[in-house]
Structure 1
Amino acid sequence: MQRTPFSARLYSGALIGLAMAFSFASLIAMAFKHAEVSIGENRTLTQLPGWPRTVAQWDSFPERFDAYFNDNFGLRKLLLRLNSNFTTVMLGRSPSDKVVFGKDDWLFYAGDNSIELYRNQRPFSALQLANTEAALALRMRPLQAANRSYLFVVVPDKHTIYPEMMPTYMSRRDPPSQLDQVAALAEKDRLPVLDLRSTLRQGKADGQVYLKDDSHWTDWGAYLGYRRIMAALPLTDLPVLDLDAKQFAIPSDHAGDLAGMAGLTRRETTRLSELPADRCAFTASAYKPVGDDISIGRTFCPQAKYKIMFIGDSFTEALVKYLSRSFGEVVYVARSGFKPSREIAPLIEREKPDLVIEELAERHLDSLADTVAQEGR
């Protein structure tokens, strides 16, 4: 029988030794590990299940322990990082199906059907458009009857403002997009819908309006949105912050949500605004939950007047420092997607604002039509 060459045996032994050392180090690291939140995955890692005390717990214990082991295996972060780096550098693509790598290191969100929306592959049907109009009417008409104004603001997706940075292999159908359809509907039926696309596209000439590593707008982009919103309001004598691009000069280090999803550790340098010190030192209260997936916070500016309610999503965060300096009280209602009128109407009735502004990201426009079917439940 022919013996295996010494070099081959040495190589095999080294691989086995390396695997055993790595496994041993992983188990040691796992033994001293505490529960943590996985930033890239945006969730808490599974904790060690308790000792089973019932038949049902014994039955599910193997599955629960397997989930714990997979989440907390020592050096897990290193393995995830190596996978991310290999996928990014060697294969030129994102390791997450929620992130698309664009040109010049730009990252784009791919969740919530964003890629299909970019390609204009999900136009609204006639029924969806009718339900969209009905959803806005359900929100608007009671306010009009109470002599209060309503404005619905659509924040465009990043790929809508920076399509030139999207990958060239992603072809697009001819318009209309969902936002095109809603804008046309609003113009035809005189609905109070504010489309920020032209404002942000023009603002690109003076500064970056969306973050490269994040799905949200920059401070400059948020300010442009604020100015356009203020210009559309029917209220009089509003103190509006007047800034130019040169005043957005404070450097800030930002860890983008898309970079985290893609497993990247890089941080992006962005620019924040220098606000006038004498405008309004507003005070703010912490957000408190008031229902399913809805929470409320508020700000007060004694130098201004009017009470408004601003219903929005994660794009609202960058608007707070501007809006809060322009109104006596702002009631911020945080929610994801468009909520049925029956969930929002009681809040409006309780707070009795002079004006209601509702903001929604472009990729969630279909949630308007969805609420119509929920209204009767």
Structure 2
Amino acid sequence: MSNYKKISQLLTIILFMALLIVPSTIMFFNPKEKKQNKNEEELSKIDRVNELFQKEFGLKTELIDSYFKFKNNINVSPLPNSCVVGKSGWYFLGNEYNNLFDDSFGYNTVIDSQELETIKNNIESMRSFLTSKGIDFKIVVPPNKHRVYPEYLPYSHPQKKTRLEILNDYLKKEIDFEIVYLRDTLVKAKSEKLLYYKTNTHWNDYGAYIGYNYTMKIINKTHDLPIAGIEEYEEVIQPIKVNDVTQQINLTFKEDAIFLQKKDTIATKIIFSKYHKQVFSNPSKTKTLLMHRDSFANAWMGFFNESFGTTIYLRGYKLNKELINKEKPDIVIFEMIERNLFENLSK
């Protein structure tokens, strides 16, 4: 055997041993503070070693991140059920979130008849209570990003009715109630400006304004409320703070987006502000809005505050009858993102 071949074999053995030894050495001598298992005293030595290997195996994070970056660089999602790599730098949530990718095409859409019945009864119960108090009730749904920008998805299916569209047909037929779905108005406006973030699941300020403007026009079919004009705001381009879609695969990107800032002094005052409840007062306006909402309404609040004297925002979708009797709102809105619609309304 030649010396070259012997050296080559020796180096291969050394490299193989290093791959076995180095990660374990890093794991045991890593200066990072290890979190103790709350039941550690109950674990055997073997169990503790197994747990340590599973949680702290040396270079685990670095290897996973490198794998994620490699897959992303070839436009393939490393976790397609969580994050789908789209075209031209766009990223979308996957089917892990209420089967939303498939449902965007009406693909693999199965709705239990009992679930439809439950949602119908819940809506009718809430509407009856609010109507008895002289309060208008609206359910307003911002669309999943997939439904506004399908051209950036990596592939598509033939378009069929989505779960929301099936539900809306059912509600109109059974109880003459229609969910306000903002997809069509956003699709019409998307040629003017970008409406959603590329690396975040939410709409930007401009998309939120389009949704606000359309919702207020629906409300004003039975009311006469002021609507803030887009000319009252100036566009500011800033980096977004969170890439909540790409975080699913441990990747962060710098993305600049449109933010709308009021040109004149804002008359609205904060009365109360916690995570689950915010209350604002605008002395130049009169009527009261109570909105049950999710994170999509973060970009909405500044606009609706310009149309109402009092705006109350609550997390969650259970009517607080005591609060309603106290505040006597003129309008109650349930704002909820499309992917969580069935989950929220069937409770």
TM tier relative to shorter chain: 0.7 to 0.9
Determine the C-alpha separation between the residues in 2 that align with 1:28 and 1:231: 63
Return the match for 1:216 from 169, 177, 202.
Answer: 202
Question: Closer, same or farther in 2 for the Cα pair 1:146/1:68, shift >3 Å?
Answer: farther
Return the match for 2:129 from 139, 142, 145.
Answer: 142
Return the match for 2:240 from 253, 258, 268.
Answer: 253
Structure-2 residue corresponding to 1:94 = 78
Determine the C-alpha separation between the residues in 2 that align with 1:316 and 1:71: 37
Determine the C-alpha separation between the residues in 2 that align with 1:14 and 1:211: 45
List runs of 5+ in structure 2 lacking aligned partners: none
Structure-2 residue corresponding to 1:79 = 63
Question: Closer, same or farther in 2 for the Cα pair 1:321/1:22, shift >3 Å?
Answer: same
Aligned residue type for 1:99: C
Q: Superposed, which structure 2 residues align to 1:280-319 within 5 Å? A: 280-283=267-270, 285-287=272-274, 295-319=276-300
Q: Which moved more, 1:151-160 or 1:268-277?
A: 268-277
SS in structure 2 opposite 1:365?
A: helix
Q: Superposed, which structure 2 residues align to 1:222-241 within 5 Å? A: 222-234=208-220, 236-241=223-228
Structure-1 residue corresponding to 2:189 = 203
Return the match for 2:328 from 352, 363, 366.
Answer: 352
Determine the C-alpha separation between the residues in 2 that align with 1:79 and 1:317: 36
Determine the C-alpha separation between the residues in 2 that align with 1:314 and 1:132: 22
Deviation at 1:22, TM superposition (A): 4.5
Structure-2 residue corresponding to 1:292 = none
Deviation at 1:192, TM superposition (A): 5.1
Question: Closer, same or farther in 2 for the Cα pair 1:24/1:272, shift >3 Å?
Answer: same
Deviation at 1:164, TM superposition (A): 1.6
- Does the 8 Å contact 1:28/1:74 carry over to 2? no
Structure-1 residue corresponding to 2:14 = 13
Question: Closer, same or farther in 2 for the Cα pair 1:86/1:236, shift >3 Å?
Answer: same
1:80-99, Cα deviation, whole Å (9 max, x unpaired) = 21121122235722335211
SS in structure 2 opposite 1:183?
A: helix
Percent sequence identity is: 22
Structure-2 residue corresponding to 1:32 = 32
Question: Normalising by the residue count of structure 2, what TM-score does the alignment of the two structures yield?
Answer: 0.85
Determine the C-alpha separation between the residues in 2 that align with 1:150 and 1:106: 35
Determine the C-alpha separation between the residues in 2 that align with 1:241 and 1:63: 62
- Does the 8 Å contact 2:23/2:57 carry over to 1? no
1:61-100, Cα deviation, whole Å (9 max, x unpaired) = 8657755653344544322211211222357223352111
Determine the C-alpha separation between the residues in 1 that align with 2:308 and 2:52: 49
Structure-1 residue corresponding to 2:311 = 330
Structure-1 residue corresponding to 2:151 = 164
Q: Which moved more, 1:210-219 or 1:279-288?
A: 279-288
Tell me, yes or no, if structure 1 residue 191 matches structure 2 residue 167: no
Deviation at 1:15, TM superposition (A): 4.1
- Does the 8 Å contact 1:143/1:150 carry over to 2? yes
Structure-1 residue corresponding to 2:250 = 263
Deviation at 1:109, TM superposition (A): 1.0
Structure-2 residue corresponding to 1:105 = 89
Deviation at 1:347, TM superposition (A): 4.1
Determine the C-alpha separation between the residues in 2 that align with 1:14 and 1:96: 33
Aligned residue type for 1:199: T
RMSD of aligned Cα (Å): 3.0
Deviation at 1:346, TM superposition (A): 4.3
Deviation at 1:279, TM superposition (A): 4.0
1:8-32, Cα deviation, whole Å (9 max, x unpaired) = 1023224434653454344443x33
Deviation at 1:349, TM superposition (A): 3.6
Structure-2 residue corresponding to 1:362 = 338
Alignment coverage as a number of residue pairs: 341
SS in structure 1 opposite 2:245?
A: helix
Deviation at 1:367, TM superposition (A): 2.5
Determine the C-alpha separation between the residues in 1 that align with 2:304 and 2:60: 43
- Does the 8 Å contact 1:140/1:150 carry over to 2? yes
List runs of 5+ in structure 1 lacking aligned partners: 35-46, 289-294, 372-377
